[in-house]
Amino acid sequence: MDSLFVSSLLEALKNPDETVRDQATKKLWRLWYQQKGIYGLEMIDRSQKLMDSGHTDEAEALLTQLTHEQRDFAEAWNRRAYLYYSIGKYEKSLADCLVTIQINPFHFGALHGLGLCYAALGEYSKAIAAFRRALAIQPYSLVNQKLILECLLRLS
C-alpha cells in the first residue's frame, strides 16, 4: 500500500467536512479489503455470504484458512474477529482484534471492535481506552463517543 496515500486518507478522517471523511473511510476500507488482491477479496466475500446465511462454522473455517495462508492480511483477522463477536465469542474476537491492530495500527474498525469486546466482557476501562484510540484516528465518530459515555456510566 502507498503509505503517502494512506497517510492522506488518515488525515482526511479528521477533516470537519463529513463528505471528505466518508470518502476517506470508504477508500481505506477498500484498500484493506483489497490488500491481498482478488483471492483475499473473494475469500472474505465468501465468508460474509456464509455468515449472512447462518453458516458461521463454515465462515470461521474459511477465515481461519485465510489467516493461516496470509498471516499479514489484517482484514482477514478483522473479519474473523467480527464473526466471533457476532456469535458471542468475545475472548476470541478480542485476540483477533489485537492481531489486526498489530498488523495495521490505524485499523479503526478493529479498535472499535476491541472496545466492544472489552465492554461485553465488563472491562469498561479497557473499552474506553480502545474507543479513545479509535477516536484518535476518527475524531468525529459519534458511535465511539457514545460508547465511551456508556462505559463511563457503567464505571460510576
Query: What is the residue extent of each domain of the chain?
Result: 3-155
Question: Which one of 1.20.1250.20, 3.40.50.720, 3.40.640.10, 1.25.40.10 gives the CATH number of domain 3-155?
Answer: 1.25.40.10
Query: Judging by beta carbons within 10 Å of its beta carbon (0-12, 13-18, 19+), is residue 6 exposed, middle or buried?
Result: middle
Cβ proximity of 100 and 78 under 8 Å? yes
Residues 6+ apart with CB under 8 A from 75: 32, 33, 35, 40, 44, 100
pLDDT tens, residue order, the chain (156 aa) = 568 999 999 999 999 999 999 999 999 999 999 999 999 999 999 999 999 999 999 999 999 999 999 999 999 999 999 999 999 999 999 999 999 999 999 999 999 999 999 999 999 999 999 999 999 999 999 999 999 999 999 998
Q: Is the whole model's pTM more than 0.85, yes or no?
A: yes
| Cell triple for 90 | 468475545
With b meaning 16 or more CB within 10 Å and e meaning fewer, what string describes 92-131?
bbbbbbebbbebbebbbbbbbbbbbbbbeeebbebbbbbb
Q: How confident is the model at residue 148, as a pLDDT?
A: 98
d(CA 71, CA 65): 10
